[in-house]
Amino acid sequence: MPEISLIVCVRNEDRLLTRLLEHTGGCFDDLVVVNDGANYDNGIEPPVGAPLKEMAFDYGLLPTQASFPPFYKELSPHDCGRTKVSQQGGRYFEGPRCYQQEPHWPFAWWQARHDWILRLDADEFPSEELKAWLRRFRNLPEPATEISGYTCLWPLWNGTKAVTKRWPGGRIFLFHRRRVRFFGMVEQVPVPNKPWESLDLVLHHQPRRKSYGVRNILLRRQAYLWRRVIAQSLMKKPTALPHWRWTPDVWPAHWDFARNHPLRYSVTSLIRLPLGQLKGMLEANEFPSIPACLNPGLHHFMLGLRVFLEKRRFREGQ
């Protein structure tokens, strides 16, 4: 029977983490929580940028008993006030401040006790149907090796209620860590060795704010931090970032386009992505939402501009 490790990366999200753990009882066998950086007493945080070069391990190739990376430390979840993590028998780690969770995933997967990784954000939790599926999954025989993992539905949230039912889909939530490759950068997802299996089940994404819309792109500070981190990461190679079984110094095609032709990337994203969103909503029989359609296009338009500026600074600094 497959055993599951739940992996959660957080940053000042204690209430949301507690809600997630309350909704996932009986769905996992192991819990790893990683905090993105310490809470600095002076209020001064490290500069925003690509992950530290010292973090650029391939954790997927590290032996289980390898020396612990010096920039991560394990803390008692009870002493840190993470009572729910302690009650679930979870382990709690603190890593460098990366302003994103993806650079911590390879370390967290390495620390997981089991190969099946349940990757959830603190502001998410499974629907009752998905929860029942996870419980059944743990009691069934090991899935065929042709399955790298599973995707689900991820409805839009307007801050009060879900405004879609069957869109967007394709949210990777459960995968076998030996059947994927990955490098730690915002918006990068695990790349499977074999296809994902799509499930018609819902993972609730319910942050304290609206989960989409132009306001998120233009007024949310975190969005600007993410774009800056992505742009600076693209000035490096994928293997210069924390990674998992990612051996070639080759960027996936869409990131390669963004780093080599950032202005063209901006313009094409602003046109292509909203049309793709609209098509997806119509195919899922959802009433089209203009903010939802504009969201990714505007974000990647601004990302391309950020990459353009970083490239210019990079050349000037050489």
Give me the mean pLDDT over the 156-184 stretch. Answer: 96
Nearest 5°: CA angle at 47, between 45 and 51? 110
| 210: region left, alpha or beta (phi > 0 left; psi from -120 to 50 alpha) | beta
Residues 172 and 307 in one domain: no
Residue 239's CB: how many other CB atoms inside 10 A?
16
Give me the mean pLDDT over the 54-80 stretch. Answer: 86
Instruction: Tell me the per-residue pLDDT of 203-243, one tens digit each, with 9 for 90 and over.
Output: 999 998 899 988 889 889 999 999 999 999 999 999 999 99
Residue type, 52: L
Residues 189 and 244 in one domain: no
Residues 64 and 32 in one domain: yes
Residues 200 and 239 in one domain: no
Give me the mean pLDDT over the 1-19 stretch. Answer: 93
Counting the structural domains of the chain, the total is 2
Residues 193 and 303 in one domain: no
| pLDDT of 318 higher than 60 | no
Q: Among candidates 182, 168, 61, which has minimal Cα distance to 119?
A: 182
* Domain encompassing residue 271: 214-317
Residues 201 and 293 in one domain: no
Task: Pick the last residue of a domain from 205, 234, 257.
Answer: 205
**pTM, two decimal places:** 0.94
Residues 174 and 292 in one domain: no
CATH of the domain at 167: 3.90.550.10
Residues 174 and 300 in one domain: no
d(CA 93, CA 162): 32
Residues facing residue 203 across a β-bridge: 126
| 43: region left, alpha or beta (phi > 0 left; psi from -120 to 50 alpha) | left
Residues 249 and 230 in one domain: yes
Q: Which residues contact 148 (CB under 8 A, 6 or more apart)?
A: 175, 176, 179, 180, 192, 193, 194, 195, 196
